[in-house]
Structure 1
Amino acid sequence: MMKLDGIAAFVATVDEGSISAASRRLGLAKSVVSERLAEMERVLGVTLLQRSTRRLALTGAGQAFIERARRILREVEEATAELDASSGKLAGPLRISAPVGFGVLHLGPAVARFLQENPGIEMSLELDDSFVDAATGGFDAVLRHGAVGDGRLIARRLAASRRLLVASPAYLAAHGAPTSLSDLERHRGVLYANRTGDWRFAVGSGWSVIRPGAALRVNNGLVMRDAALAGLGLALLPSFFVHEEIRQGDLVAIDIGWPAEGAELFLTYPRDHGASSKIRALGDSLRRSFGDPPYWELA
């Protein structure tokens, strides 16, 4: 009979890319993970992983089985969580991914509050500015800001954020403040590298797209903020990155007559995950911590 601990070892090995990393994730000896993998392959009568000194690779059978294995684990975790919820407690692992900048600035106190409310939950929070696929990345849920647009996912809205066009007082003194969309063409921008370099502004019932010259392209909002503070150029950033700097006068919010495209925050998770009680509790706790409207908009 196929055992659940073998499925867990298989999924962890695939997600982490090695047996050593899987053993660290599971808190087991490497030899135990290897034994569980070997036992599961014996029970199934197929080879799931091609092992070499350099890498692990899924076989055809492994490719066919991995999504079902993930689904089995999610169903077991969900069933356990529902039982815990019915008894008034939430417990067990919860693996979350979030963007680096937002995580550094805003998730520490919010996550601490959630875990204080639910001491039985064992959370793993990974901060990553690259695109994390909530459906296949091995996470229970992924926090994103911006449009989701993926039919495989359920997206729970956490909070809203405006995007603000900002610059340092020194930059504006040297180059002048833009007052219209056409003025932006002559300015240099600090641009986010993981999306198109366009700036989108709501004009009437449509959108106007500006393509500024790049003083810097970078895939991290905190570095973008620091570049704007240093006077390298204009930056279009969510208010949760710059609300304190604007309040203190270190950055100036520039009004060109039209609002920039906003950015909502979502907690996303695979549709086949079900309405996880742990994810639902996390979303509710984060919304309470951020407020409505969120505290970065009030500032």
Structure 2
Amino acid sequence: MDLTAVTDFNLVARHGGFGAASRATTIAKATLSRRVRELEDSLGVRLIERGTRPLRLTEEGRALHARTEAPLGAISDALQDIQAGLQHPTGRLRISAPLLFASVSLGPLAAAFLAAFPGVLLDVTTDDGFVDLRDGEIDIVIRANPRPDDDLVGRCFLRNALVLVAAPCVQRPHDDSQPFPAVMRSGMVDSASWTIVDARDGVARQYHPRAVMRLSSPLSIRDAVLAGAGAAMVPLAIVAEDLLAGRLVEWGASSQPPVEVWVLHASRRLVNTKVSAFVNFICDYFAHSKA
């Protein structure tokens, strides 16, 4: 049975005629008449007494109208509520974010999101490891340079260049062969040299790191560099204020591709409205913050 035809029949019954229903809904009178006639043919009964004024329903028409108007109205209201939810999502949104992102950017981002979507409760856990979204425990993950995964979809919202920085008291190497004291991340592979595009003249030069310590957190590395322990390769975002204030000096930018930060969610055909709202918001937030 065509539910559209049942809906149109109820419109005609509610408004007391084809013409009145057409004026109230902008559906053509001929269309309403055709659909009601097709509904009658499919049911094998007459629903409306033709040629009577005012409009009169048959006994079958009154029964159909009484039993279907409320359920179809409830369905229509539900669809409208769901559509409205795209602009006004509510409920808990569970997010997994890496420690560095949570420490540097999450507080202001979360406050701005709350102001825009007060009905959503952000529930954020900090985790640098793998999170399986298929178990339903987490709605969204934020990760840097994530591995491709057919079960996940998302968007890159931030590209963060790697820069070689040091405190002003740390002497920059005079030539390509001179090693420099380097604060390196735990697990980072020793390299004979780093290719750095010099901040002064844009020329690519080779720098030879000599590890003086290894730390697991980029923020700890930054703090050690601020204390004069040596130079380090770190994401620009965590040292931007220190460079601007003169507490650190940029020797140059790495020739490596920038770090890409992605917001990811399960690759379902229909995405939860809270997830859609957050994905769009975080991308717009960082697009405007870079402008």
Residue in structure 1 matching 2:275, options 269, 275, 279: 279
Q: Which amino acid aligns with 2:184?
A: L
Instruction: Decide whether aligned partners of structure 1 residues 271 and 118 sit closer, same or farther in structure 2, where only a CA change above 3 A counts.
Output: same
| Cα distance in 2, alignment partners of residues 152 and 265 from structure 1 | 18
Partner of 1:217: 214
Q: Render the CA deviation track for 1:184-230: whole Å, top value 9, x for unaligned.
A: xx223222236656686589xxxx99884432222222111101111
Map of 1:233 onto structure 2:
230
Identity %: 26
Q: Deviations over 1:87-142 (max 9, x none)?
A: 442011111111223222211111111112111112111123x3232436732111
Unaligned runs of 5+ in 1: 1-79
Following the alignment from structure 1 to structure 2, what is the Cα–Cα distance between the partners of residues 179 and 116? 52
Residue identity in the other structure for 1:269: H
Deviation at 1:288, TM superposition (A): 2.9
Amino acid at match of 2:251: I
Are the aligned partners of 1:179 and 1:255 in contact in 2 as well (CA < 8 Å)?
Answer: no
- Report SS of the residue matched to 1:191: strand
Aligned to 1:104: 103
Alpha-carbon spacing, 1:189–1:202, altered in 2? closer, same or farther (3 Å): closer
SS at match of 1:187: strand
Distance 1:288 1:236, change over 3 A: same
Q: In 2, are the aligned partners of 1:132 and 1:142 still within 8 Å (CA)? A: no
1:188 partner letter? P
1:261 and 2:260 aligned = no
Q: Which TM-score applies when normalising by structure 2?
A: 0.59
Per the alignment, residue 173 of structure 2 pairs with 177
Specify every segment of 5 or more residues in structure 2 that has no aligned partner in the other structure, as ranges. Answer: 1-77, 198-204
Q: In the aligned structure 2, how far is the partner of 1:263 from the partner of 1:252?
A: 21
Alpha-carbon RMSD: 3.4
Residues 152-195 of structure 1, C-alpha deviations (whole Å, 9 max, x = no match): 321311121111111111122xxx33664x55xx2232222366
Which among 166, 183, 192 is matched to residue 190 of structure 1?
183
State whether residues 159 and 294 of structure 1, in contact with CA within 8 Å, keep that contact through their aligned partners in structure 2. no
Distance 1:194 1:277, change over 3 A: farther
What is the aligned partner in structure 1 of residue 8 from structure 2?
none
Amino acid at match of 1:189: A
CA distance in 2, matches of 1:245, 1:133: 33
Please state if 1:125 is matched with 2:124. Answer: yes
**Deviation (angstroms), 1:147:** 4.3
- Matches of 2:190 and 2:290 in 1, distance apart? 27
**Does the CA contact (< 8 Å) of 2:161 and 2:258 recur in 1?**
yes
Corresponding residue for residue 246 of structure 1: 243
Give aligned pairs, total.
Answer: 204
Between structure 1 and structure 2, the one with the greater Rg is 2
